[in-house]
Amino acid sequence: MVTQFSDSNTQGGGSQPAAEPCVLVIFGASGDLTKRLLMPAFYNLVCDGLLSANFAIIGTALDPFTTESFREKMSTDIKQFSTRVEFDQKSWDSLCSRLYYTPGSFDDDANFARIAEMVAKVGAEYNTGGNVLFYMATPPSVFGLISSKLEKSGLSAATGDSGGWRRIIVEKPFGTDLPSAIALNREILKYWKESQIFRIDHYLGKETVQNIVAFRFSNGMFEPLWNRNFIDHIQFTVGEVVGVEGRGGYYDRSGVLRDMIQNHMFQMLAYLCMEPPASFAAEAVRNEKAKVLEAVRIMDADAVRLNTVRGQYGPGHGPDGKPAPGYREEPSVPPESNTETFAAMKLNIDNWRWHGVPIYLRSGKRLWKRGTEIIVQLKTVPDVVFKGTPVEALEPNRLVFHIQPDQGIELQFQAKTPGPVMSLQKVNMRFDYGESFSASRGTGYEVLTYNAMNGDATLFSRTDLVETAWRIAQPMLDVWKAEPGGFPNYPAGTWGPKAAFDLIERDGRKWAAIMTRETLQKIPLFEAVDPVMLSSLIMALKPAVFQPGEMIMKKGEIGRTLFIISRGDVEVLDDAGEVVATLGDGNFFGEISLLMSAPRTATVRANSYCDLYMLDKSDFTRVLRDRPKVAQSLMEIATKRYNITVSPDKLLEED
C-alpha cells in the first residue's frame, strides 16, 4: 500500500518494483492539475525508477496543441512546478519523449476515434500489453459523458489478443450532496465495474496520512490504549492562512464542509479510528473504513445546531500582517454570500471501541496559522500523589500527528524539572520525517497514480465510502442552507468564531494549540534558526491564560519573557493608559527580553480572554547554550533589527 520515494535513479527504485506498463489518457490535459501536480508526480516516478519503460501519456482537451507543442509547454511548466531540489534533465527527457496529444471535444465521436487510434499505436510502440488508464482531470459533470464515449468507441473494454486492463481515475468532488453523489456513482457504474474505478483524494497520498495506519498497527505500545478506556477525546484541525485565492466562484458553490471536511477529514478519521483489518489488502482496509464511518452518529436538525459551528471570515489581516479582505469582498463572491469558510463540529462514533469518546473537527480559511494536526488526548491520571507539592494540575498526555507543514509524530508527557522540589514540565518525544528520511518531497499523486497503475485501490474511495461520508454531512448542509449564518463572524487572521471555542469548552475541554516551526520563524529573531533548535524552542514554550482586563506586562518592570498570542487580543497602552495598538491571534511581543533583561517599554493588557505561549529567558538561554554559533547570528539580527548590542557570552549568561 505504501510506496516511499527516494533519490534513486534505478529501475524499480531499489526495493520497489516499477508500476505496470500502460498508456495513460488524461482528459483535461491542458489544465492546472496536469502541469502543477500530475506531470511533477510522473517525473518523480521516473527519477525514482518507479515508472515502467513501457509507459506513455496521451493528453486531450479543447486547447489546440500538437504533440510537439504540448511537450514544449510541459517542458516549460515542469521547471516551475517540480518538487525536487535538483532538476534531472535526462529523466525529464525520458518522460517528455513519451508525451502525446490530440485536441478535441468530449462530446465529439471523431475525437474519441482519434484517441482510440492513438492508444492502439502508442500501446504497440511501447508494448504496454493493452493496459489503459483513463484519468478524468475534469469536472464531475462530464464523467458520464466521457465514459459513454469511451464505451461507444470500444476503449472502455480490452479487445484483441493483447487483452490488458482498463481503469479510470476520477477527481473529487464526488458529488455536492448525498443525492448528487448517489446519482454520480450510478452514472459511472453504468459503464465501469467498481474494481475499475479509482476515486482519488490527494490528501491520502501524503506519507504522514498513510503513516497513521502503520503507526497504529505496527506498534504494540499504542494499540492497547486505542479505545474509550484510555482516550479522552480526539481533535482534528486543518487550518489555512490563505483565502479563496481567486477561486471565489468555485468555492462559493462548495464551502469548507464540502471542500475539506466531508472528503479529506472524514477519510483520515476513518484511518485513525477503524478496527484492525485482516490484512492490508485493499478490500480488507476499505471494509473497515466503511464500518467506522457507518458507525458515526447521524445528527438530526437539533443536534446540528448543538454540535456544529460555521463561520465566514470578514476583513482582517493576512499572514504577512497586511490587511486582508473579507470573504464577501473576494473576486467572484456574491456580496451576501451565506457560504461557510470555517466549520467545527463534535462527532460521536457509536461502536464498542469509541463509545463516549467525542471527536472534534475544525477547518477554515484565513486562520492565523497553517497546519494539519490530529491530536489524540489520553485521560489524565489521578493527581492525589502530588498533593502537598508545587504541582497544581497534571497536563494530559497527547499523541500528535503532524500532517503538514511539519511532518511527524509527537508524544507529549510530563517530566520532573531539575532541582530539589517536585515540579513538573511538559516535554515531548518527536519523530520528524525530514530528519529521519531523505526522500524527495512529492505532490501526493506519486503514491496514488503508482497504486492505480498496479490495481491497488487501498487509498481510493469506494462507492459506499463516498455515500456514507455524504450521509454524515447531509444534515449539516440542510440546516445551514435553511438558516442564515450571521456572517461574517470572524476576522481574517484569527482562529475562527468564538462559538467554535464554546463548542469544545462547554465539555470541559480546550482546542490544543500546536506551535509549528513555520509559525515560530515568523518572529524575526528566529527566522534563520535551524529546524532542530526551533523544535527545542517549541518544547520550551509554556501556556498561559489571561482574563479580560488583566495586565500581562507593565512598563518599567524587568522583562524576561516573550509572549505569542494563540487566541484573543491584547491592547498596548501608553503612559496615560490610552490604547495605542491592538494585537490579535498570531502576534507576539516582548522578544527583546530574550536578548537582555531590561525595563519593559510598554504596558500590555488582555482585551479578551487570551491563550498565550510564553518563552522565558532562562529556557531560551538553556536551548541557546548548546548552539554558540547560533548565538552569534542572533546577535547580528538583534543589532540590525532592534539596534541592540550584546556579546554572545553575555547572551548565554544566566540571569
| Positions marked catalytic | 264
- Pairing status of strand 579-583 against strand 570-573: antiparallel
Task: Return all residues near 224 (Cβ < 8 A) that are at least 6 apart.
Answer: none
Question: What's the farthest any 2 CA atoms get from each other in the chain?
Answer: 90
Selection from 154, 159, 7, 3 nearest residue 84 by Cα: 7
Q: How far is CA 185 from each of CA 176, 197, 202, 285, rounded to the nearest angstrom? A: 12, 10, 19, 21
Place of cell 505561549: 613
Each residue of 276-304: b (16+ CB within 10 Å) or e?
A: ebeeeebeebbbbbbebbbbbeebeeebb
At what angle are helices 531-540 and 617-625 packed, to 10 degrees? 150
Which DSSP symbol is given to 327?
A: G
Question: Which H/E stretch holds residue 649?
Answer: helix 648-651
Which DSSP symbol is given to 34?
A: I
Which DSSP symbol is given to 262?
A: I
Interatomic CA distance for residues 470 and 478, integer angstroms: 12
Which DSSP symbol is given to 630?
A: H
Interatomic CA distance for residues 586 and 344, integer angstroms: 20
Place of cell 457560504: 339
From edge to edge, which strands make up the β-sheet containing 197-200? 99-103, 55-61, 22-27, 132-136, 166-171, 197-200
- Length of the chain as a residue count: 655
Cis peptide before 488 (omega within 30 of 0): yes
Interatomic CA distance for residues 567 and 339, integer angstroms: 24
Q: What is 380-436 written as a DSSP string?
A: PPP-GGGTTSS---PPPPEEEEEEESS-EEEEEEEEEPSSSS--EEEEEEEEEHHHH
Interatomic CA distance for residues 630 and 541, integer angstroms: 19
Q: What is 77-102 written as a DSSP string?
A: HHHHH--SSS--HHHHHHHHTTEEEE
Which DSSP symbol is given to 116?
A: H
Interatomic CA distance for residues 198 and 143, integer angstroms: 13
SS (H, E, C) 556-582: CCECCEEEEEEECCEEEECCCCCEEEE
Provide the terminal-to-terminal Cα distance of the chain, rounded to the nearest Å. 54
Question: Which H/E stretch holds residue 648?
Answer: helix 648-651
Interatomic CA distance for residues 472 and 186, integer angstroms: 20
Interatomic CA distance for residues 309 and 363, integer angstroms: 11
Selection from 269, 339, 334 nearest residue 310 by Cα: 339
At what angle are helices 178-189 and 143-152 packed, to 10 degrees? 10
Phi/psi for 436 (5° steps) reads -95, -25
Interatomic CA distance for residues 81 and 41, integer angstroms: 10
Q: 438 near 14, Cβ under 8 Å?
A: no
